[in-house]
Amino acid sequence: MEAVERSLRNLRTDYIALYQLHRPDPATDIDETLSALTDLVRQGEVRAIGSSSMRGSEIVEAQWVSERRGFERFRTEQPNYSILDREIEREVLPVAQRYGMGTLVYSPLAGGSSTGRYRAGQANDEFRASTGMRHFRDDRRLAAIEQLIALTDEMVPLEGLEPPTVSLGRNCSSIELQRLAGPL
C-alpha cells in the first residue's frame, strides 16, 4: 500500500490505470493479495489489476476467489510468449479468454534469442547464461533459432525480412513456422 502511494507521489498522478503484479508470491495466499488489491481499487488509487507469470490454474483460482469474496478480479495477465516460448497457448490463453482478460506478453523475442544474436556453437553472453536463462543452454531451442535464421535468410531476398521481424510478425497458423517452433 505504501509503495503505491509513493509511486503516485513520484508519478504526480492521482491513480494508476493498471497495477500489474510481477509474479505470484507463493508465501502469500491469493485471498490476501486480492483483498489488498481490492482496497487499492476501492480507494481510487488503482483502476484495474493484473497478474503476471501465473499458470492457468492460478488464474482460475484467483477468479474464483474474487467472485466468491467480492474482490476485484484480475483484468490482465502478462505471460512470457514468443515463437520459442509458446506454452501459454495450452492453458493460459484459453483461461484468459474465458474470463475476458487481456494479455500483455513479455519477451516476444525470447530474450533476444530469436534475433540471431545468440547462435549455436558460438560463445554466448556468459553473464546472461549464468543467470539461469535456460535458452542459452537448450540445444533444442538453439536448433530452432538456427532454423528460424535459415528461414529468414530464404525470405530476405523476397521480402527484406530480418529474424526479429519474422519472430514478431509470425502467424502461428503458418505451417512452416509451426514446423520450426515444434508441436505444443
Q: Rounded to two decimals, what is the model's pTM? A: 0.76
Average pLDDT of the chain to the nearest whole number:
81
CA distance 23 to 61: 15
* pLDDT computed for residue 176 by the predictor: 43
CB neighbours of 50 closer than 8 A, spacing ≥ 6? 18, 19, 20, 21, 74, 75, 76, 77, 78, 101, 102, 104
CA–chain centroid gap for 39, Å, is 26
Give the pLDDT confidence of 141-158 residue by residue, as tens digits: 778 778 877 777 666 655
3-class DSSP state for residue 76?
A: strand
Confidence of residue 182 (pLDDT cuts 50, 70, 90): very low
Cα(66)–Cα(72) distance, integer angstroms: 6
The string over 84-117, giving b where at least 16 C-beta atoms fall within 10 Å of a residue's C-beta and e elsewhere, is bbbebeeebbebbeebebeeeeebebbbbbbbbe
Task: Work out the average pLDDT over 135-144.
Answer: 71
